A = this chain, B = another copy of it.
């Protein structure tokens, strides 16, 4: 068993959102992104099989999708998207995001 505390592991940066690889295995890849208010993970997609979960650990913002789609994002939200479906995130407050990708890419 291997434990990481997201609050201890990574802070925030005014320059750009921060990214931490929490875990990688043949089964899934787990990443932590921290956004200062106003920072954004631009909408993107990859033409491959698999799904990604986006979990809001703390903060508020919006999930972004294709054609300017926006869904409110707040602590406790779990969003699941195909990897091939456009997805992104914009932070309204400082925001901690946990991303799990399966299979890992």
Contact = CB atoms under 8 A, between A and B. Distances in A.
Interface of A: 1-8, 22-23, 25, 27-28, 30, 32, 49-51, 53, 55, 57-58, 63, 65, 69, 71, 74-81, 85, 87, 96, 98, 100, 102-103
A102 B1 contact: no
A53 B100 CA distance: 9
Contact of A5 (B1, B27, B77): B77
Number of copies: 2
B6 A76 contact: yes
A27 B51 contact: yes
Given A28-B53, A51-B28, A102-B102, A4 B63 contact: no
A71 to B, nearest CB: 6
